[in-house]
Amino acid sequence: MILWYTPVLQNTAQWYDCFEDEARGGRSYMVSEPNNYCGQGSEGFDFDSPFFIGMTTGFISLFVGVGFPAFIVWKTKELKRTDKLNAESTFAFLYENYSPSVPYFEAIHFLRKALLILLMTVPSFLRSTLESVGVDASVVQAFFSLLVNVGFFFIVWKTEPLVYFPCSLLKNRNLNNLAELVGCGATIAGNLLALIGSFSPYNQGIVNVLGTIFAIVNLSFVVVFFFGFYLDMKRTNKEKQALIERSQSSAEEGGVTSFSRGSDIAEKLAKSVKDAELDFDGMLVTLAVLEGRRKEEVIAELPFYRSHVALALKMELLKTEKDREVKELGGDLKVTLTEYRNLLGRVNAAVAIHTGREISDFKGLEDIAKDNKLEFCQKTIASLEASGGTLQKAPRIVKKLSSIGLTNELEMVANPTSTGKATQL
């Protein structure tokens, strides 16, 4: 529906995007289909009648134009209320790029598109009425489109909706939100040029000059944006690498992260799991250089990154269960499952530490196997614990997290009796 939302509304709006053809008696015709009358078909319930077109337009506008954004708001709030705003949800694609504080922001994007489509259509439909009172429809279109995009700019600036990515040029700023604001600024600049041009639509000289300026502004934006984005990401990755090297230099047995795991173990793990773990550890590294409100925002995002890890592990367990008849419980499988269990335990502990939640709120590997009725995996994981499989303990996790700059609120794990939080894996 995300892909179809804009085309559906645009095609619906075309029924009202009309022009008067003086050569054919001054009747109105569709801009998209110049041979079709615009709302001047036969009376009654025929497909080209004003009644049918109006009824269909109202239905689509209500159930698609407004209904789909309303559904996004309702669904994301419901998922957040039930603590299911995670990567495992069927609707994760709606909110995975947005902060947990505004998971419904995709709905605002859709409503903005709907308003712009409406503005591009209604003034044309009412062109004769507007001209009768001395108002040019193109001026109305340009002016209100500018207002919509300015309003959207301030909404983005106020809510800062996108997930956090560090900016090396402006400390403690979100590069994703900055990029969105710059894009909005370029759009507003184009709206201003369109508004200026709408006052002199028949002056070809002015139109050519404004068109040239618009092309230069857009080209400059694209070049500067991608060059600046590339440089910033490069510098940010260097800063992360410095913290990673600190982590590796202080690594000790049992305190394994995605940054310090040996290649002999890493090659046994699925790529999807390693990628998800790396993203999670990258957020932990980011926390080390943040403070205040920015740090709180990233902490709020940690459960979602943790759910990515859990989902990747779930998919690997499903594959293992599916192949159980052709697989033997060999050493590699024991090593892999032990590492997976350690990995998720460490991730759960880190989230519990920073969010202040009980570690029991987050499911371990055996819980995932049990919930999905994966008997083979469940028995195998239980046998690892029974046979004394190596598991990371909380104090070692504390040392590992501390080694990459995460020194706040870690005493609760090193000394669990003082707080009762994150007492064990």
Reported as a single tens digit per residue, the pLDDT across 95-136 is: 999 999 999 999 999 999 999 998 887 766 677 777 777 778
Q: What is the mean pLDDT of the chain?
A: 77
Q: Quickly tell me which residue has 């605002």 as its tokens.
A: 108
pLDDT at 43: 45
Cα gap 365→389, rounded to integer Å? 14
* Helix (H/G/I), strand (E/B), else coil: 27: strand
Closest CA to 218 of 239, 259, 189: 189
Contact 288, 400 (CB under 8 A): no
pLDDT at 418: 35
Q: What are the sequence ranges of the domains in the chain?
A: 263-418
Residues 6 or more apart from 5 whose CB is under 8 A from it? 64, 68, 110, 113
pLDDT at 48: 58
> Letter for the amino acid at 420?
G
Structure confidence by residue, pLDDT tens digits, 376-424: 888 888 887 655 444 444 434 444 444 444 434 333 333 333 333 443 3
Q: What average pLDDT score do residues 82-99 get? A: 91
Cα gap 248→396, rounded to integer Å? 14
Cα gap 404→392, rounded to integer Å? 17
Structure confidence by residue, pLDDT tens digits, 15-43: 777 777 777 776 777 777 777 777 554 44
